[in-house]
Amino acid sequence: MPLDTAVNSLGFAKPASETRVVVAMSGGVDSSVVAAQLKEEGYDVVGVTLQLYDHGAALAKKGACCAGRDIHDARRVAESMGFPHYVLDYENTFREAVIDEFADSYLAGATPVPCIRCNERVKFKDLLATAKDLDADCMATGHYIRREMGEHGAELHSAADANRDQSYFLFSTTQEQLDYLRFPLGGLASKAETRALAARYGLSVADKPDSQDICFVPNGNYAAVIEKLRPGAAEPGEIVHADGRVLGEHRGLIHYTVGQRRGLGIGGLDEPLYVVKLDVDARRVVVGPKEMLATRRVPIREVNWIGGGSFTDQAEREVLVRVRSTRPPAPAVIRPISETEAEVELLSPEQGVSPGQACVFYATEGSRVLGGGWIWKGR
């Protein structure tokens, strides 16, 4: 082979035909397009789909990823494009690593984000290890995020399309994982481009709707899933004002989240009230005026730093942070306590910051994702 062999589109100095790539296929249009595109470019593509929960129950969950229908759709795409496809049973792993923590977090008064844990503990851990076992040079996914080469190696960057950007859900990607992963859709300007590619490849999923809910939570009914997983979890208790007044009775803490206003069942009051705290020990929903939701200091732990160097190299760092997936990044200062803990000071107060959510770090200029951590109640 000539010494000046060109680098292919996945960053390897060898022909595409000699580059094996495992594509994580959920059965949706995004990962299907990634697989089809790489196959068309001549790569040695292997599709892998994870069965994450009971196959029979999954068939009734329309619009949820990794359900029975989605496994069928992924297989059809692989057959039509002519590459091998495997289904791996990860039901026990998914339950232990994602679902159980989801239920326990809700019972503890937090608002968990299971999609982050799934990427962290299943897709980018066990599935990535499987890709290496298959002698793949890399693993590609349909996530909308960019991997770019910087001065010191691979960097994570927000997607070109801010409306599709999934950086909030991928903050816990480690440097080692980032070196191995590829995200071919991150540079596309819109989802319309993805669907146009699917139509060009003649994929059966070209018009398939996007999944809206957490894959194991049909119709977004978190409480029903938790009651099934943890019978007796929905014990009633008092709704109390922050000033101590008892205003009514709730139907179980799992039905409420910090920042919630609607559905409290305490109408007829002079002021609008919001959930400001969930007191798990006393089984109380504490409500108060909107200004009580404002927070400037956010304790975080399980920090994953991919911004270069050591997280504790600096006593404080000016960054942008996102404290919910639906919020834009806002100016903040991070003060590390250790390699895995820190306090984040928001320069402008944010409302509804909740334990169990992620706090994701971004560079003050450009699109680089620097990592993040999990919001908790602090000591």
Domain(s) labelled CATH 2.40.30.10 in the chain stretch across 295-375
Catalytic residue, chosen from 65, 66, 118, 138, is 118
CATH number for region 234-288: 2.30.30.280
128-158 tens-digit pLDDT: 999 999 999 999 999 999 999 999 899 999 9
Two tokens, residue 88: 């791996």
Binding residue positions: 24-31, 50, 142
What pLDDT is stored for residue 211 in this prediction? 77
| pLDDT interval class at 379 (50, 70, 90) | low
What pLDDT is stored for residue 134 in this prediction? 96
Torsion of CA 159, 163, 166, 167, to 10 degrees: 60
Catalytic residue, chosen from 115, 138, 215, 359, is 215
What pLDDT is stored for residue 63 in this prediction? 47
User: Counting beta carbons within 10 angstroms of the beta carbon of residue 306, is it exposed (0 to 12), middle (13 to 18) or buried (19 or more)?
Assistant: buried
- In the predicted structure, residue 3 carries a pLDDT above the cut 80: no
- Give the C-alpha distances (Å, rounded to integers) separating 249 from 26, 36, 233, 265, 285: 42, 54, 16, 8, 9
Domain(s) labelled CATH 3.40.50.620 in the chain stretch across 16-201
Cβ-contact 145, 169 below 8 angstroms: no
Q: When comparing pLDDT for 342 and 222, which is higher?
A: 342
**b/e burial code for range 80-105 (CB count within 10 A of at least 16 → b):** ebebebbbeebbebbbebbbebbbeb
Q: Is 65 a catalytic residue?
A: no
What's domain 295-375's architecture?
Answer: Beta Barrel (2.40)
Binding residue positions for ATP: 24-31, 50, 142
Minimal CA–CA distance to 374: which of 280, 295, 299, 320?
Answer: 299
Q: Is 66 a catalytic residue?
A: no
What's the CA gap between 6 and 169, in Å, rounded? 33
CATH number for 16-201: choose from 3.40.50.620, 2.40.50.180, 2.30.40.10, 3.30.2000.20. 3.40.50.620
Domain(s) labelled CATH 2.30.30.280 in the chain stretch across 234-288
Cβ-contact 358, 376 below 8 angstroms: no
What pLDDT is stored for residue 59 in this prediction? 38
